[in-house]
Chains A and B, each alone.
Chain A
């Protein structure tokens, strides 16, 4: 009966399959098959959804995407969003985590507050942000008014609509990163800092030479996570602009493009192709970052 170190047999495999069956059936049907299906669908150039008949395949969908100005706009907006929101969120959450880590008495209190947005429905709080950003009566414009700044139509001016979305994304992304940074800081042996202090290192030297190198692995993870999250922004846009992609598509993200093609325009294969593009972007970025990290670690003489 005891099989901790035993060799697998037909009997033990059958038994394991019984345990695995519910998980494998669901995962096979709703994760593995759709993964294959997504790639297949992206290659269907003539597809009748109602009869499920495919009459031609090829690169047509990707070529259409490549030449579609709306898709180009979606890519541009998404990249811009990631390039601004990711560094801002990571840097701010690192600063906040470092300060929370140093503050003894109020650490728990601040952690609780900064983490609130994580448990909050994105759609619900997106509606609140819509109200905060409003031209007439919105809190932000009233606040700016106190300093004599003219009201800005955040949600209807194409120049300000994307920054407004960025604010919401940063606001919501901080919490989980702070928690992860705090976990990373907790793992660092306090003795390193003590020794560095005894050696006469200034606080800044201690950070750059002790804390930061030890935080690098978790920082890489956070950078990848935050980038992925912001590549896939959808709920915020939907709530902020009440089911549109902002003034003249100023907040059209890749996910919103996918949603529009799929749900509004019923262009299933084109939407599947844009999903594949998203997957390649996200997967490529992940592999690239981890590859770079491994390379760096080898250079530094680690494992």
Chain B
């Protein structure tokens, strides 16, 4: 009994220590963001500042067009996620329910395509966009991301696990494939659809290298790019910088805390195949 208790304490201590190490950067970011601006390097930052400078957040909002960055991030994230969902749901449906020539070959090619690191495609995609005259437009931020092989494969798995009798019954009741897809299949697989959508929201919101390369103008910047620009402009004014960082990180943290179970499900669906 005593040994069991000891083990429990050691385990909890180990996990707590790790959790503290994970949380320190977040905590330090929050604490710094509330310190008096520009004094951080002269007076040692304390864990409990005497007066909380909530105004830092207001200053950040004023100092850079963060509202614009935020709007851009929202637009790009929403457009890519919704677009990907539509193209992937349609494609996954075809792979699951429709018979066509070359189905197996095409699906095999998709699986092979998953092995290709997206970074390899960066340069040729930039050249393509330049030929389309799309560099430094919203189209450059959105259109290349409107299809995802990962999402098709994950949804195909989900669709396949639905009972075939559901499909047959819908047809006997006179539903067309199109009606079956949007009125029955999508609602019954909503959890997995939410899960893959959430993963895409995270990827789009945090995307850095692609938007960095294809945009130049300030009014097209997404939050991560805007944040870097703000860093260059503000230099070592850490309280303001950390306040800006909080603004980038916080929306997803809230979303994550609310939809955690979907995220875990999404990761299992996209990473664990058979």
**Which residues of A line the B interface, CB within 8 A?**
1-4, 6-9, 12-13, 15-17, 19-20, 22-24, 26-27, 29-35, 37-38, 41, 49, 52, 96, 99-100, 102-103, 106, 110, 112-125, 127-129, 131-132, 136-137, 139, 142, 171, 174, 176, 179-180, 183, 218, 221, 225, 228, 231-232, 234-235, 238-239, 242-243, 255, 258-259, 262-263, 268, 271-272, 275-276, 278-279, 282-283, 286
Q: Is the interface of B mostly helix, strand, loop or mixed?
A: helix
* B128/A100 in contact, CB under 8 A: no
Report how many residues on chain B are interfacial, defined by Cβ distance under 8 Å. Answer: 92
Q: Do the beta carbons of A19 and B11 come within 8 Å of each other?
A: no
Q: Which 4 A-B pairs have the closest CB atoms?
A: A37-B124, A34-B124, A26-B147, A16-B100
Residues on B lying within 8 angstroms of A by beta carbon are 8, 11-12, 14-15, 18-19, 21-26, 28-29, 32, 40-41, 44-45, 86-88, 90-91, 93-94, 97-101, 103, 113, 115-117, 119-128, 131, 143-147, 149, 152, 164, 167-168, 171, 176-177, 202, 205-206, 208-209, 212-213, 223-224, 227-228, 231-232, 238, 241-242, 245, 248-249, 252-253, 255-257, 260, 263-264, 267-268, 271-272
Q: Closest residue to A8 on the B side, CB-wise?
A: B99
List chain B residues, Cβ under 8 A from A19. Answer: 90-91, 93-94, 98
Check if A22 sits within 8 Å of B271, measured CB to CB: no
The secondary-structure label for the interface of chain A is helix
6 A-B pairs (CB sep. < 8 Å): A20-B94, A22-B90, A29-B128, A29-B144, A30-B125, A128-B245
Question: Is the CB–CB distance between B23 and A113 below 8 Å?
Answer: yes
User: In chain B, what residue has the closest Cβ to A102?
Assistant: B11
List chain A residues, Cβ under 8 A from B94. Answer: 16, 19-20
B224 touches A129 (CB 8 A): no
Determine how close the nearest CB of chain B comes to the CB of A265; give it in whole angstroms.
13
Contact of A132 with B18 in the complex, beta carbons under 8 Å = no
Contact of A119 (CB < 8 Å), options: B15, B149, B212, B256: B256
Inter-subunit contact A235/B124 (CB<8 Å): no
B60 CB to closest chain A CB (Å) equals: 13
| Cα distance A99–B248 in the bound complex, in angstroms | 32
Are A116 and B22 in touch, CB under 8 angstroms?
yes
Q: Pick from A1, A33, A127, A242: contact of B124, CB below 8 A.
A: A33
| Residues of chain A contacted by B249 (CB below 8 angstroms) | 120-121, 124-125
Contact A27 B15 (CB under 8 A): no
CB–CB A31/B224 < 8 A: no
Q: Complex: how many Å from CA A124 to CA B101? A: 47
B24 close to A100 (CB less than 8 A): no
Q: Which of A127, A183, A263 contacts B241 (CB 8 A)?
A: A127
- Indicate which residue in A110, A128, A275 contacts B120 across the interface (CB closer than 8 Å): A275
Given A96-B15, A103-B12, A131-B242: A12 touches B98 (CB 8 Å cut-off): yes
- Note all chain B residues with C-beta closer than 8 A to A243: 228, 232
The residue on A at minimum CB distance from B18 is A96
